[in-house]
Amino acid sequence: MVKRTWCAIAALLLIAAPAGAENGHAAWLRYAPLPPAAAARAGAEVPRAVYRLGAEVTLARAEDELRAGVQGMLGRPLESVNALPPTGAIVLGTLASIRSSAPGLAPAGELPKDAFWLRTVHQGNNSFTVIAGGDARGALYGAFAWLRRLSAGEELGALDAREVPYATVRWVNQWDNIDGSIERGYGGRSLFWANGKVREDLSKAGEYARLLASLGIDAVAITSVNANPLFLTPDFVPQIAKVADVMRPWGVRVAIAIDFGSPQSVGKLQTYDPADPAVAAWWKSRADALYAAVPDMAGFVLKADSEGRVGPSTYGRTHADAANVVARALKPHGGILFYRGFVYDHHMDWRNLKNDRARAAYDNFHPLDGQFDDNVVIQIKHGPIDFQVREPASPLFAGLEKTNEAIELQITQEYFGQARHHVFLAPMWKEALDFDMRAHDQPSPVKAIVAGRVFKRPLGGFVGVANAGDADNWTNNHLSQANLYAFGRLAWNPDLTSAAIAAEWTNQTFGTDPEIGKIVNDLLLTSWRTFENYTGPLGLQTLTDIVGNHYGVAVEASEENGWGQWHRADKQGVGMDRSVATGTGFAGQYPPAVAKMYENVESTPDDLLVFMHHVPYSQPLKSGKTVIQFIYDSHYEGADAVAKYVEQWRGLRGLIDDERYQAVLKQLDYQAGQAIVWRDAVTRWFHRASGISDDSGRVGAYPGRIEAEAARLQGYQLVTVTPWETASGSGAVECPAQTPSCTATFKYTGQAGPRDIVVQYFDVSTGAAHYRVRVAGKVVGEWTANDRIPTRKLDGSSSSRFVIAGVELKPGDEITVEGSPDAQETAALDYIEIRSPK
Ligand code: GCV
C-alpha cells in the first residue's frame, strides 16, 4: 500500500510540471490536461472508480497508472474501490479473474499472454470499462493502451478492442559498460552501472522500465554485446538481481550479454571450446546461479567471432555449436539465447572486387539453418552492413527457414547524427519490416518472417539497440525519444504506419493542438529522407568517418581499408557491383524475385542503385537526372530542409513549453549548420572526383563567403584540414596553443544594411576556445566553443557555425574575428559568410 501510494504521487508529480518548464523526463507519459472539449466528452465516458482484481504488483502498477493518468488528463481522481460498484468502474484484471468475479463484464473469447481486451459495457445508466489482460502484464499493457486512447481524445464509450502482440520477442539491448559508459550511447550514462558495479540508486532504471512497459517491451539486456566477462562472475549475480527487482514490477525482465571466452577467463578452464563437456558444465553452472537469484531472467545475448570478439572459430566449431552450448544451459530455466548474426571479417582485402561484407551474415549462417536449438534466436541487423542511412533488408531473413530470428534495429543514432541531428527512424524501419522477400514466391514481409509467421517458428520478433541513458530527458535530444517510442510500437504492431506512430507520439509528448501535430509530424516524417539527402543518397551509405567517430562527414574514410563499407567512388563512377553476373554475387542471396530485381541496374530502385551497382556518374536515374546531378541536388535539398525545420519549429513558440521549445530550436539550428558542412563536403568531393559541374552552378561557388585563409591574419596560421573536403577553400587558420589570441580581419564590400554574419569555426573536444567578433571595432558577438563534439581534430565533426543576426554593415567595414585558444583547442576558423537576414 505504501509503495502504491508513493508511485501514484510520483506519477502525479511528473505531470504537475508547469506548462512553461518541462525537462522531457515524463517523455510520452506526461498525462497533460486534455483540451476542454475532449475533457468534457471523456469526463462523461470515464468511470469515477477503478476496481482491481488481483494483488500482483504489475496489476497494482497498472492501477496506479490509470489513477495518475485520469487525474492528469481529466483533473479528477479515480477512486480505488474494493468491490464492484453497481454505478460503474474501470475493472482491471486478468481475463480469468474478471470472468470469475464479474462474469457479466468479461468479453467472450480468449487472450494469450501479454494480450489485452478493452471493452465498455453499459448496464442501464451505468457503464463499466473493462481492461482485461491475458495475464497481469497484458492488463498493464491494456491500461497503457487505454490511457493512450484517452490522451488522443478518442471515443471511449463504445470500446471493444482486442490486441495481441505481433511477436513473442520485444526486447531492447543496452550497450552499457561496467564503468557506466554506453557504447554508441548519446543519452548520458548507464541507468544500471557506474564505476564497475551496479548503481546504488536504481530509481531511474525503474522509471525506464515503466516507459518500456508502456510500449509493450518486456525484456532488456542490461550489458553491452561487447561483453565484459566480469558480468558472469559470482559478484555480479546479486547486482543483476537488484536491477531485475526494480524492473520486474513493470513486467520487464533482464538479460545480459556474455563473452564466449568466459569459461576460460572467468571459469579458469583450459578452454572455451563449446564441444568440451567441462565448458558445457561451466555454462550450466553460471546459468543455474543466475536463475537462482533471478528466476525470471530473460536470457543471454552473444556476439561471437565479430569485431575482435572470440568465438567458436578458435576451435574450428560452428556458430551453431557455440549457440547451442549456451542455449542448453538456459533451456531448463526457460531462457533464450540471442546469437548475433553480425559476424564479418573486418580485415578484408579492398582491392579484391569480389570481396563483400554485405554477404557475410548470409554466408555465415545460411549453411547452418536447422542446426540451432529451439531456444536460440539469430539476431539479425536490419541491413547487411551496419545501420547505414539506407540499406536493403538483409537477405538472411529469408535465408533461415528452420531457425528462429529477430530483427535488430538500432534506436540509438550511431550513424544518424548521434542525437545531435534529428532523424525519426520509423519510416526506415518500416521499409525493412514491410519489405517482401518473396520467399518461395509467396508474400513474405520481413516482419512476418521474424515473428515466425512465415516459416512457422515458435519464437522471434524485434530487438532494438536502445538510446536511453541517465540524461534528464533520457535521450539528450527531445525528438530522439520518438525513436524509442516508435521502436516499441512497431515491436508491438509492425503494421502501424509511421504517420500513426508520429501522431500518437506528438499528441502525448507535446500536446493535441492540431498546429503542433502539423509541425512536429512533418519534421518527424520527412527527417530520414532529409538526413539521407545531405549524407549519403542512392545507397552510398552514411559517408561518415567510418574508422573513427561515425559522426561527421569524411567521404573516403570507408575506402581502402578492411572494414568493407566501400562505395568505390573513382573518377568514372561510383558504387559496389553486387550483381551475380559481374559483381560480388550478393544480389543472388535473395529469393529469386528479389534477386532478379537487384541484379540489373534498370530494375534496382534508385534509392539503392549504388549499393547494388557500380555506375558511371552520367548514369540516368528513373527521373532522367544523372547520378552526379542527383548527388549535388539532394545535398542542397537536404541542407535546405533542415534550415526550414528551424523555421517550422519556431511556429511552436507559445504552443509548447518554453524549455523544450528552446532546447529543440538550439539542436535544429546546430543541425542546420552541420547539414551545410555535409552538403559542401560531399558535393565538393564528388565534383573533384568526377570533374563534372553542377548544372545549377552551386558547387564551389558560395556567395557571401570569405575564406579565413584570405583574411588579414594576426597570429593566425594557415592549417591543412583532413579530410580536405571538410574545410572550405584550401583549409583553415588556427591560433597556436598558448597564444593569448589571434585575429582574422575581413573587409565587407557589399551594400549597406542589416546582414547576418555566419562564422564557421572548429569546436574540438580538448578545450574551450573563445571567439569575439567586432564590426568597425564594436563587439557584435562572442561565444565559447565548449560543445562536447566527439573529435580532437579539425574535421567534419568539429566544423561548427555561429550566426550573428541582423548586424548593420556598410561598405568598407572591417569584421574582425578574435580567437583565444584554450588548452589544445586552437580557436580555428574556416570562413565567414555574410548573408541577408532570414
Ligand atoms: C557494440 C557497430 C558499432 C559497434 C557495435 C557493433 C555491433 O560496428 O560501431 O559499436 O558494437 O556495431 O553491433 O556489435
Candidate list 110, 155, 288, 307, residue with the active-site label: 307
Q: How far is CA 574 from CA 103, 577, 618, 690, in A?
A: 67, 9, 10, 10
Distance (Å, rounded) from C-alpha 119 to C-alpha 790?
51
Query: What is the reported pLDDT for 8?
Result: 41
Give distance in angstroms: CA of 228 to centre of ligand 1: 15
The residue whose CA has the least distance to atom 12 of ligand 1 is 386
As separate numbers, helices (DSSP H) first and strands (DSSP E) second, the chain gives 21, 29
78: part of which helix (H) or strand (E)? Answer: none
Residues 718-756 have pLDDT tens digits of: 999 999 999 999 999 999 999 999 999 999 999 999 999
Q: Which of 176, 182, 386 to probe ligand 1 with, by most ligand atoms within 8 A of CB?
A: 386
Distance (Å, rounded) from C-alpha 305 to C-alpha 344?
8
Is the distance from the beta carbon of residue 661 to the nearest atom of ligand 1 less than 6 Å? Answer: no
The residue whose CA has the least distance to atom 2 of ligand 1 is 386
Is the distance from the beta carbon of residue 305 to the nearest atom of ligand 1 less than 6 Å? Answer: no
Beta-sheet pairing, 193-194 with 197-198: antiparallel
Is the distance from the beta carbon of residue 181 to the nearest atom of ligand 1 less than 6 Å? Answer: no
The residue whose CA has the least distance to atom 11 of ligand 1 is 226
Give distance in angstroms: CA of 386 to centre of ligand 1: 8
Q: At what angle do helices 203-213 and 136-151 cross, to 10 degrees?
A: 80
Atom of ligand 1 nearest to the CA of 303: 14
Is the distance from the beta carbon of residue 225 to the nearest atom of ligand 1 less than 6 Å? Answer: yes
For 234, half-sphere exposure in the C-beta direction (CA atoms, 13 angstrom radius) is 3
Give distance in angstroms: CA of 346 to centre of ligand 1: 12
Is the distance from the beta carbon of residue 361 to the nearest atom of ligand 1 less than 6 Å? Answer: no
Residues 595-638 have pLDDT tens digits of: 999 999 999 999 999 999 999 999 999 999 999 999 999 999 99
Is the distance from the beta carbon of residue 184 to the nearest atom of ligand 1 less than 6 Å? Answer: yes
Atom of ligand 1 nearest to the CA of 414: 9
Mean pLDDT of the chain: 96
Alpha helix positions (H), 542-626? 592-599, 609-612
Residues counted in the chain: 838
Query: What is the reported pLDDT for 21?
Result: 73
Atom of ligand 1 nearest to the CA of 550: 9
DSSP-assigned states of every residue in 358-404: GGHHHHHHGGGTT-S-TTEEEEEESSSSSS-SS-PPPTHHHH-SSSE
For 782, half-sphere exposure in the C-beta direction (CA atoms, 13 angstrom radius) is 11
Evaluate the CA torsion angle 745, 751, 754, 758 in order and state its sign: negative
Average pLDDT of the residues in 662-676 = 98
Atom of ligand 1 nearest to the CA of 306: 14
pLDDT band, residue 20 (cuts 50/70/90)? low
Active site residue 45: no
Residues 320-346 have pLDDT tens digits of: 999 999 999 999 999 999 999 999 999
Average pLDDT of the residues in 150-166 = 95
Residue 2 has pLDDT above 50, yes or no: no
Is the distance from the beta carbon of residue 176 to the nearest atom of ligand 1 less than 6 Å? Answer: no
Active site residue 559: no
- CA-closest candidate to residue 172, choices 515, 642, 488: 488
Q: Which of 184, 340, 413 to probe ligand 1 with, by most ligand atoms within 8 A of CB?
A: 184
Say how many Å lie between the first and final Cα of the chain, rounded.
58
Residue 19 has pLDDT above 70, yes or no: no
Residue type, 96: A
Average pLDDT of the residues in 372-386 = 98
Residue 233 zone, left/alpha/beta (φ > 0; ψ -120 to 50; rest): beta
Give distance in angstroms: CA of 480 to centre of ligand 1: 20
pLDDT band, residue 788 (cuts 50/70/90)? confident
Is the distance from the beta carbon of residue 31 to the nearest atom of ligand 1 less than 6 Å? Answer: no
Q: Residues near 602 by Cβ (< 8 Å), separated by ≥ 6? A: none
- Give the count of beta carbons closer than 10 Å to the beta carbon of residue 149: 17
The backbone torsions φ and ψ at residue 364, rounded to the nearest 5 degrees and listed phi first, read: -75, -40
Is the distance from the beta carbon of residue 386 to the nearest atom of ligand 1 less than 6 Å? Answer: yes
**Which three three-digit cell numbers place residue 431?**
521499409
**Which three three-digit cell numbers place residue 231?**
558480468
The burial class, CB within 10 Å (0-12 / 13-18 / 19+), for 514 is exposed
**Which three three-digit cell numbers place residue 726?**
571538410
Active site residue 356: no
The residue whose CA has the least distance to atom 8 of ligand 1 is 386
The residue whose CA has the least distance to atom 13 of ligand 1 is 342
**515, 519, 520, 524 alpha-carbon torsion, rounded to 10°:** 150
Query: What is the reported pLDDT for 1?
Result: 32
Atom of ligand 1 nearest to the CA of 410: 13
Candidate list 356, 386, 680, 734, residue with the active-site label: 386
Residue type, 500: A
- CA-closest candidate to residue 247, choices 407, 88, 58: 58
Query: What is the reported pLDDT for 12?
Result: 41
Residues 84-97 have pLDDT tens digits of: 999 999 999 999 99
The burial class, CB within 10 Å (0-12 / 13-18 / 19+), for 624 is exposed
Is the distance from the beta carbon of residue 408 to the nearest atom of ligand 1 less than 6 Å? Answer: no
Residue type, 349: D
**Which three three-digit cell numbers place residue 588?**
543472388
- CA-closest candidate to residue 414, choices 464, 478, 359, 379: 464
Q: Residues near 801 by Cβ (< 8 Å), separated by ≥ 6? A: 670, 672, 673, 674, 676, 677, 758, 759, 760, 761
Beta-sheet pairing, 712-714 with 717-719: unpaired
Is the distance from the beta carbon of residue 415 to the nearest atom of ligand 1 less than 6 Å? Answer: no
Residues 465-476 have pLDDT tens digits of: 999 999 999 999
Distance (Å, rounded) from C-alpha 404 to C-alpha 383?
18
Q: How far is CA 314 from CA 199, 318, 319, in A?
A: 35, 10, 11
The 8-class DSSP code of residue 735 comes to P
Is the distance from the beta carbon of residue 303 to the nearest atom of ligand 1 less than 6 Å? Answer: yes
The residue whose CA has the least distance to atom 3 of ligand 1 is 184
